[in-house]
Amino acid sequence: MELSLGMGRERKKVVVVGGGVAGSLLAKSLQFVADFTLIDEKEYFEIPWTSLRTMVEPTFGERSIINHRDYLTNGQLIASRAINVTDTEVLTAEGRLIPYDYLVIATGHSDRVPKTKTARLNQFQEENQKIRSANSILIVGGGPTGVELAGEIAVDFPDKKVTLVHTGTRLLEFVGPKAADKALKWLKSRKVEVILERSVDLDNISDGCKTYKTSEGETLTADCHFLCTGKRVGSAWLKETVLKNCLDVNGRLIVDANLRVKGRKNTFAVGDITNIAEIKQGYLAQKQALVAAKNIKLLLAGGRESKMEAYEPHAIMAIVTLGRKHGVAQFPITTIGGRIAGLIKSEDLFVGKTRKQLGLEPHILKD
């Protein structure tokens, strides 16, 4: 099929907006079968679940932050923010109009980060110094980001006093209570203080502030803090576009079984921006990207829509790392914790596997 793509006629234009875990894999998959363009506001792909390890070990980012050009060798890269989309074009913040025959929206969650890999690595160095220079650290948010950051700090800097504050009645509310309980017990065993059913007032603090007020009026002291609450869906830029009526009440794009946006034949969406009823996880975004890539290749080759592959939502399966050797894993039929869960993900954080998917050397870490 792929041998016929573009043979004897002008190649179709495929544009992917968003260079995260789904967008990067789409770029790798589609760059040789179309006139391909990736639009991303940064010049690199950062494996999203590795950022907390990189905060305690900045050199980890050399492998987990990947310049788009390392794997995108046959397409156009536009390092800019998309601000509008029409039926035929995407408009960037610099005023460039990028035409498309097929479009994929993969903008995930809003996350303001530096444009270049060097600047991002420098940012991690600054965050690492912030941790190293503090005797006490406050973490606000008890979802996967907050729990994993607490675990990384507790293992690499066991002498630091770490306090984690969460508004919920338990940690890790996106998984079951067994997994949450295992994570809580592990954190407490590492002397992390966990305070539930509280929020922290971060609106009335100044630089260098070392006292924080909770929603119950309690005073917490810490040399620094990290905010680890949820990020907004990256769809604000779509709300005044031709796709505005394709967003649900949560700001997610409504997609059909083939991952096409509601009511549109040539527009797909993948990753966290979709309304697919499943947990939002990186490995699932990758699975969606592969299905969308397969369907776009089919259409590019003139295949029938009835032959497109359907994406099947997955049951909850999640792994939360707890430092370098331990973790908590929830599978459809069981929940495990400790070193067994840690062996699945915690050491290399799937960096080697992700790099290999992009056609790069994995450089798997060895003891």
Give 246's DSSP letter.
Answer: G
322: tokens are: 């707890």
Q: What is the pLDDT of residue 9?
A: 66
123: tokens are: 């940012």
Q: What is the pLDDT of residue 220?
A: 95
Q: What is the pLDDT of residue 364?
A: 46
Burial 82-114 (b: 16+ CB within 10 A, else e): bebbeeeebbbeeeeebebbbbbbbbbbeeeee
Asked whether the beta carbons of 344 and 320 are under 8 A apart, the reply is no
- Single pTM value for the model: 0.93
What DSSP string runs through 89-103?
EEEETTS-EEE-SEE
- Low-confidence stretches of the chain (pLDDT < 50) are 1-4, 6-8, 364-367
Where are the chain's structural domains? 2-41+80-111+231-314
User: 62 pairs with which residues across the strands?
Assistant: none
Give 271's DSSP letter.
Answer: G
Q: For 224-361, where are the E strands, in sequence order?
A: 224-227, 267-269, 318-322, 326-330, 335-338
Q: What is the pLDDT of residue 1?
A: 40
Could you tell me which CATH number the domain at 2-41+80-111+231-314 has?
3.50.50.60
